[in-house]
Amino acid sequence: MSKINCIGILTSGGDSPGMNAAIRAITRTAISKGFSVKGIYRGYEGLMHDDIEEFTTESVSNIIARGGTILKSARSKDFMTPEGKQLAYETLKKEGIDALVIIGGNGSLTGARDFAQMFDVPCIGLPGTIDNDLYGTDLTIGYDTTLNTIVDCVDKIRDTANSHERIFFVEVMGRDAGFLAQNSAIASGAEAAIIPEDSTDADQLEHFIGRGIRKSKNSSIVIVSESPKCGAMFYADRVKKEYPQYDVRVSILGHLQRGGSPSARDRILASRLGAGAIDAILDGQRNVMIGIRNDEVVYVPFTDAIRSDKEINKGLIRVLDELSI
Ligand code: F6P
């Protein structure tokens, strides 16, 4: 195995709060262990088109509290092709980068796995996504901040829902995973959550309606996990049609969920995992995601991390049900 002198860092896919804290931790740990560091801009796009800069410890000063990513991010279609990966490999050679740390979600780590297989480049992943959908890690960087942002929004929606005695369907992000919807519903005292991991969407709505919708309450909030087919608008229309006596509104939170200063929890997680990435390289690890399980830093092979079946705690569905009577 050839010696690693220079480590390249990139952020890819949807940004998440805490990515900067991770960039800072990787850079500073790497430099303190004698590596040189290069920041790669715009994810795999920057790797293909040589948009790269040498990083010093100062490059990452005062970024731990900032949302987004100083390295910018992109979802690169070209990198998915063999030609794109070849171009990226040529840039790596030209820049003298011996190993990569990729901060991103499912798609980004899939790209890293394929790239590593094709060119035998040591790649280490960090779980950077608000969706919390990477297998093998209890938490992903950005999830906690986004959860708090959603809860903050729902608290505000609750005020107006109450004043007007309305039912609100609030749509949150999560792609194909219901972690954000499920847990924000519990934390905000919502009456129900509609998530992809539970019974069919129609059943979940029936269940909510079957409970008497509002009972003694004068307003209701249902958190709906985003879905191309049946988002919050779909349910609102159905309830409006079937129960015209109710005043129904929809609120789609959208990209505000991805912004903002990371929570203390995300900053600590990103710092631990960032340092863990460099320890992993020193440890001779290759092609693993650094995760956290039971408060321990763990190595998860890419192939496991990108499995799309991370389990939601089904017990929480019952908790939400019981608490919303
Ligand atoms: O994966 C993160 C995420 O925010 C998902 O929750 C959401 O479905 C998607 O990215 C939105 O992507 P974009 O910013 O490209 O619209």
Pocket test for ligand 1, best of 173, 179, 256, 310 (most atoms within 8 A of CB): 173
Q: How far is the CA of 107 from the centre of ligand 1 (A)?
A: 11
Q: Which of 255, 242, 114, 228 is nearest to 167 (CA)?
A: 242
Decide: 180 and 154 in contact? Cβ < 8 Å: no
Q: How far is the CA of 14 from the centre of ligand 1 (A)?
A: 5
* The predicted structure's pLDDT at residue 111: 97
DSSP string, 245-287: TS-EEEEE-GGGGG-SPPPHHHHHHHHHHHHHHHHHHHTT--S
Round to whole Å and give the CA distance between 242 and 68: 42
> Residue 104: CA atoms inside 13 Å, Cβ hemisphere, count?
30
Paired strand residues for 6: 36
Paired strand residues for 7: 37, 99
DSSP 4: P
* The predicted structure's pLDDT at residue 244: 92
* The predicted structure's pLDDT at residue 170: 98
pTM, whole model, 2 decimals? 0.96
Q: Which residues line ligand 1 (CB under 6 A)?
A: 14, 105, 129-131, 173-175, 226, 258
| Identity at 72, one-letter amino acid code | K
Round to whole Å and give the CA distance between 237 and 19: 37
* The predicted structure's pLDDT at residue 310: 94
* The predicted structure's pLDDT at residue 199: 78
DSSP string, 45-108: HHHHTT-EEEE-GGGGTT-TT--S-TT-----SGGGSHHHHHHHHHHHHHHT--EEEEEE-HHH
212 CB burial (10 A radius; 0-12, 13-18, 19+): exposed
Kindly give the interhelix angle for 179-188 and 143-164, rounded to the nearest 10 degrees.
50
Residue of minimum CA distance from atom 12 in ligand 1: 14
Query: Tens-of-pLDDT digits for all 325 residues of the chain?
Result: 579 999 999 999 999 999 999 999 999 999 999 999 999 999 999 999 999 999 999 999 999 999 999 999 999 999 999 999 999 999 999 999 999 999 999 999 999 999 999 999 999 999 999 999 999 999 999 999 999 999 999 999 999 999 999 999 999 999 989 999 999 999 999 999 999 988 777 777 777 777 766 555 678 999 999 987 789 999 999 999 988 989 999 999 999 999 999 999 999 999 999 999 999 999 999 999 999 999 999 999 999 999 988 999 989 988 998 898 8
Decide: 173 and 180 in contact? Cβ < 8 Å: yes
Paired strand residues for 299: 290
Decide: 88 and 115 in contact? Cβ < 8 Å: yes
The CA-atom distances, in angstroms, between 137 and each of 148, 212, 288, 298 are 20, 38, 12, 8
The residues that are catalytic are 131
Ligand 1 atom closest to the Cα of residue 106 is: 1
Q: How far is the CA of 51 from the centre of ligand 1 (A)?
A: 24
